[in-house]
Structure formats: C-alpha cells, structure tokens
Chains A and B, each alone.
Chain A
Amino acid sequence: MMGKKNWTAGLLSLTILVTAACGSSETNTAGGSTNAAGSANAAASGEKTKITFYSYNLATAGQKDGTQKLIDEFEAANPDIEIEGIPVASPDINAKVQADIAAGSPPDVAQLVFDGLDYIANNFGAKPLEDLVPEDELAQAFEGFSPNGLKLGQLNGKTYGLPFTFSTPVLFYNAKLFADAGLDPEQPPATWAEVKQYALQIAEKTGATGVHIGGSVGNDWIVQALIGSNGGKVLSDDRKTIEFGSEEAVGAIEMWQDMIASGAMGKLNDSEVMEAFSQGQVGMLLFTSALQSSFLTAAEAGGWELKSAAMPSFDGKPTTPVNSGSALFILSDDEAKQQAAWKFLQFVTSERGYTIITSEIGYLPLRPAIVDDPQYLKDWVEQNPLIKPNLEQLERLNPWVSYPGPNWYQIETILLEAVQKSIQSTDDVSTIMQEAQTRAQSLVQ
C-alpha cells in the first residue's frame, strides 16, 4: 500500500520537477534575450526598430482601416521604424496588457482607456513623457494642442498618456420626430428641464421614445459628466475621498430617474437604444459623439435627418462634458523603442494624425486650429457640420477621473450599479448613492 502511494507521488513529483525546470530555464533565457537583443540590433546595424502597438480601434471592423492608415503613413515617413499593430478588443485590452507584463513581454505602446489612468501609471509602468523627452522638445510638440485635451492623460502633473481617440457626450436628435411632434428642429433643448418637456411631447405626439441618456452601463464618463454639470464631483481633488454621494451628484441622478419615471425616457438599454435610434424610433439621445457616422448612415437609409446639440445643462449651470476614449501609453523599457514610440505618438497627435482620426476613425481633433485649415479638416467639417457642438464642448472639457488604487474598476462598477439601481426604480436616490459611496470609499487605498 505504502509502495503504491510512493510510486505515484514519485512519478507525479518527477513530472512536476521536470516541467518546472523546463519552465524556469526557459523563462530566464527568453526573458533576458528579448530586451537586450532589441536595443543592440537597432543601435548597431541600423535595422528597423520594431514597436508593438495594442489598439482596440484595430479590433473594430469600422475603425480598423483608419487606424491602419495612421500606421502606414507613419511608417512611410519613418522607414527605420516598424509598427506592429495588434488588435485587442476594448473589454480585454487591460487584461491582455496585464497578462503580458506578468509574462515579461509588455507591448511597447498600448491604447488604453482613460478610466484606468491611475492604475496604468502606477502598475503598468507607463513612462511619463516628461521622463523620456527633453522639456523644450515636449513644449514644442504640444504647441497648438488644446490645453484641456492635454490634461486628459495627466496625473500628478505628469503626462502618462497622449489622448488618441476620444469623444464627448452630445445630444443627437431626430429632426423628423421633432417636426412631427410640432417642435422646431432648429431649436434643440438647452436644459434638462426642456429635454424632459420636449421628450414628453415627442412621446405623446409620435409614440416614439422621447429621450435616452446613455452611459449607465459600461463606463462612468457620462455619469461623471452629469454629476459635474450639476456642480458635483466623483472624487475629491486630492484623490482620496469618494464624493458621488454628495447632494449635487444625487441631484444629477435624480434628474435621470425622473426622466424614466415621467415616461420621457424609455426602458431600453444603451445598445438597444442605439439600434432603435438608428431606425428613427427615439427622439433624442445623449451619447458618445463617436456614433455620429453610423447614425448618419442609418438616417440616410431610413429617410430622417440627424442633428446634434451640445450636452444640456442643469438650469443654466455650466456643463462639464467629460471625455470618453483612450490615450496612447509608452510601456517599453528599451530606450530605442521609447524614442521610436515617442515619434509615433507625435505623428498620431499631429495635425495630419488628428485629421485621419477625426475624418476616418470618427473621433475628435485635439488641435483646434486644424478645423479651419483647408490643408486638414476645413472641408471635412463643412461637409460634416454635426461635429460642431462637439468641438465647442472641447473648451469646457473635463478629464475623465480615474479612481486610485488597484480597486479602481470595482469603484467604477459600484457607481454604475448605483446609478442603474436609482434610475430603474423609484427608490430614494440619495440613500442608494451614499451607500455606494461608503462601499467605494472602503476600496480606496
């Protein structure tokens, strides 16, 4: 009996020993060689510096071509650099980067969403541009950049990410439904009170859904925009106290709850509403401006007119549009690659880069001047006037706040679930939000 056990245990442990030995020796050799080889080759023989670039725009059928064009044009202008674009779907991209760091082979440049900024800076080892690039060169590169835009990728005064593809919340509306309901399509609502009134009128006269406010699932940028527009904050300026239980925050969510309770807003969720809106069944929709081109196509096919307006305000208080989207982060530890990556980042955020980003991928330019420049976006903007409210919002743009510590994602989820719970019920919003605040606070480290 004893012998039997020993045999199996012996065999098993032998297996483990052999395999573990293989594993660890491989680790050392492979891990060591990649870094060293990379820089040596590039420096010595004048070979191409190769950069891996994780991008979720590359993983989306409609945005792939524009993103690839950015890469191709950059490579044409910089023959000594090769960009290996790797498509990773946006829900998986943080996990993929984390797994690659754990495996010792992080990507050189990654497109990551702003809500993870704190974690990316502190845990993914993102390199602040101030550490890679001389001050004057950096200042020169940032000339003509929207100062608000630059803030998006900054944390504690350092620039960890350069804003790449991002958008702001805009109010899309269906001009045909406006007209059918007896409203003037040239006079979009400017306050939430007006939105409610218009929406009820649309619902009553046309039977369509009046309005939908997107952003209660997925990410919290629209929630942050609404709370900010009502004078609140989700996180204190010293990044230590969660504040989404405050009176202002509660007020913003109460408006949202009232939209549904009053029948101005339907019960569809975000992805359903996008389709319903595409088919001309929703009057107004507050959502990401990135949807514009797909809505335009749908409107043309469906025979209605798409219009857009800036985000409505809380009775005249200044609105604080918050950006969604992503920045590019340099993760490489190799100096040659870092410099090559910086060149790539510069190109992508150049006049030409933002022209492609705006006209072919569907996001916003962070260099305001190119909008009036015939060499870049002037013609395009004239053909696509819908982008204007969006561009105006850039002046009031607030950065998407990332939560501190390793639990940032849970905190964001807690906020979103509290919002969902509030707007899907008629319960007391302040109780729900304060409970969520307490829970989130305990996760701040």
Chain B
Amino acid sequence: MNTKKLKASAIGKHAVLIALCFLAVFPLYWMINTSFKPAGEVFSASLWPKTWTLDNYRDAWNAIPMARMIGNSLLVAIAQTFTQLITSILAAYAFTRWNFRGSGIIYGLIGLTWLVPFQVIMIPNYVVISNMGWKDTLTGLIVPNIASAFAVIQLYNAFKAFPKTLIEAAHLDGASDWSVLWRTIVPNLKAPIASIGILQFITAWNDYFWPLLVTNKLENSTMQKGLQMFMSSEANLWGPLMAATTIACLPVLIIYLLLQRQIIDSFVKGGLR
C-alpha cells in the first residue's frame, strides 16, 4: 500500500522533472533542427529535417569570418575569466586574512559596482578606450573587465567559510601569506573557484553590447556580434541564423558536455550565496 503510493508520487516527480527538462532543452534542439533544414523546409514544423543539408552552415560560415570570431571569443572569454579570478582571489584573501582600516567600506564600494548598469558606463568607457587606441582591439574588450564585483563577493563568501585553523597551521610551518593563499587555500577551494570561473566564462562569452560598440571589423570582434549579420531588419534569414547561433553556442556546449559532471558537481559543492 505504502510502496504503491510512494511509486505513484515518484512517477509524478519524474514526470514533472522530465517536462521541465524538455522545456529547458527544446529551444536548443529546435535551433539545431532548423539549422539542418533546407530553405524550403525551414517553415515546416517537422521534428527533424526530411532532407538534411549543410547549406545553412556553409552560408553562415561564408558570410562572416567565423573561425576568427570564435577564436576571438575564446581568447576574450579565457582572458577575462582568468584575470577576474586572479584579481578576486587576491581581494577575497585580503578581506578574510586581515582586519584593516576601511575594509568594510571598500568591500561595500566593490559590492555596489555590481548594481551599476552597463548602459550607464558604456559610453564614457568607450571614449577612454578610443583615446587609448584600443578601439577595435581585443585589449579594448578585455581590459575594462579584469575585475568583477560578483566574483569578489562570491569568493569572499567561500574564503570566509575556510577553516581558520588550517591557515594558522600553515603559518606556524613558516609559510608566507602569499604561499598560504596559493598552497593552502586555493587548492582546497577548487570547487567554488571553478563554479565562479564557469559563470564568468559564460558571461564573457555571451557579452554582446560591449563588443558591438568597441569593435569595428568583424575580424576583430567576437562571435556574438556576428549573429547580428543574420538578424537584419528587413528579412530574417532563419536557416543561416540558426546555423550561426548553433555555431556560437557550440564551443560552450561542447565544454559543458565534456565537463558536465564536474561543472554541476563544483556548483553543488561550491555553493554560491
């Protein structure tokens, strides 16, 4: 009796979860599905292409310097993630390791920057980038984003939870502050650092408005800007657009598929708060 009831509820549970997963994945599926349909079939609702074609991919690939832009996206995303992690690890360490004058205020000021909408600071920063001669360069895309308030706050929370006794033990062994950070704390906090890194990577990869403004030539821009090419106001080229978006999502998707276990694990273990 009891087990039956339990089974029914378990089935219900799975049904709900399957429905939600379907909702989450369907757009991705539909995007890929459409991208393989020939022009005549794009408008049909068939769940898979009746005839498969790579035409859309060929069109998309030829219309913009795709390989170059993907390369740029990767470079920018990796550079940003890396620098953001380094700068925030240093900052988080400072806040947890020492009590110093103004720490509260500085922390507050850093946190507040999270609330500043990018629409507000875009133009003034563009003027600076332009004056420094970084317009239309990857430097111009990366440099304004080497620090992230979000990363600082999240890492601070992770560092705060790190047992103080371990740090003191390392200190008694004669380790300097610097080596305590890199030899004791960071290796033990791989999970939260990784999960924050992943989020920062995704954010950097998906950034759209800043590259739109800073870069001129497609060769010097990131993948997101290339998508615009297919969303012209007068006619949507659905087939090539879906092919291009698929390509734009692909690298992150592949990384995600390969590391999916670790990513989810590091999130669940790392725990943002």
Chain A contacts to B: CB under 8 angstroms = 3-5, 7-8, 11-12, 23, 26-27, 30-31, 52, 59-64, 84, 86-92, 96, 99-100, 102-105, 218, 271, 274-275, 279, 288, 290-291, 294, 301
Contact = CB atoms under 8 A, between A and B. Distances in A.
Nearest to B228: A89
A31 B127 CA distance: 11
Contacts of B127: 99, 102-104
In the complex, which range does the number of interface residues on chain B fall in? 35 or more
Given A5-B102, A26-B132, A90-B233, 20 more contacts: A3-B101, A7-B101, A11-B106, A12-B109, A23-B131, A26-B131, A30-B133, A31-B131, A61-B232, A87-B218, A88-B216, A99-B127, A99-B213, A105-B130, A105-B135, A218-B233, A274-B234, A275-B43, A279-B43, A301-B40
B146 interface: no
Contacts of B237: 61-62
A87 B212 CA distance: 10
Contacts of A290: 234
Given A7-B102, A64-B63, A86-B216, A103 B130 contact: yes
Contact of B229 (A60, A96, A288): A60
Q: Which of A5, A11, A52, A60 is packed against the most chain B CB atoms within 10 Å?
A: A60
A89 B218 CA distance: 12
Nearest first, the 7 closest Cβ-Cβ pairs linking A and B are A8-B102, A103-B130, A60-B232, A86-B216, A103-B127, A4-B101, A61-B63
Interface string B235-259: 1110010000000000000000000
Given A11-B102, A12-B109, A274-B235, A86 B126 contact: no
Interface string B198-240: 0000000000000011001110000000001111111111001
A167 to B, nearest CB: 10
Contacts of A89: 228, 231-232
Contacts of B126: 99, 102-103
A385 B216 CA distance: 38
Interface of chain A, main secondary structure: helix
Nearest to B39: A301
Nearest to B133: A30
Given A86-B217, A291-B234, A291-B235, A4 B130 contact: no
Contact of A27 (B43, B131, B212): B131
Q: Which of A7, A52, A64, A87 is packed against the most chain B CB atoms within 10 Å?
A: A87
A433 B29 CA distance: 46
Interface of chain B, main secondary structure: loop
B105 interface: yes
Nearest to B236: A271
A7 B212 CA distance: 39
Q: Which of A30, A59, A61, A90 is packed against the most chain B CB atoms within 10 Å?
A: A61
A8 B106 contact: yes
A136 B63 CA distance: 42
A99 B131 contact: no
A145 to B, nearest CB: 26
B213 A96 contact: yes
A64 B232 CA distance: 11
A285 B198 CA distance: 48
A291 B212 CA distance: 26
Given A4-B101, A103-B131, A104-B130, A59 B229 contact: yes
A105 B216 CA distance: 13
Interface string B77-117: 00000000000000000000000011001100100000000
A73 to B, nearest CB: 20
Contacts of A86: 216-217
Contacts of A291: 234-235
Contacts of B234: 60, 274, 288, 290-291, 294
A194 to B, nearest CB: 27
B264 to A, nearest CB: 37
Contacts of A288: 234
Given A27-B131, A64-B63, A87-B229, A294 B106 contact: no
Contacts of A4: 101-102, 105
Contacts of B64: 61
Contacts of A87: 217-218, 229
A278 B218 CA distance: 30
B128 interface: yes
A87 B221 CA distance: 11
A374 to B, nearest CB: 31
B123 interface: yes
Contacts of A91: 233
Contacts of B217: 84, 86-87
Nearest to A27: B131
Contacts of A84: 217
A218 to B, nearest CB: 7
Contacts of A218: 233
Q: Which of B40, B105, B106, B240 is packed against the most chain A CB atoms within 10 Å?
A: B105
B218 to A, nearest CB: 6
A222 to B, nearest CB: 13
Nearest to A301: B40
Nearest to B214: A99
Nearest to A92: B212
Contacts of A64: 63, 229
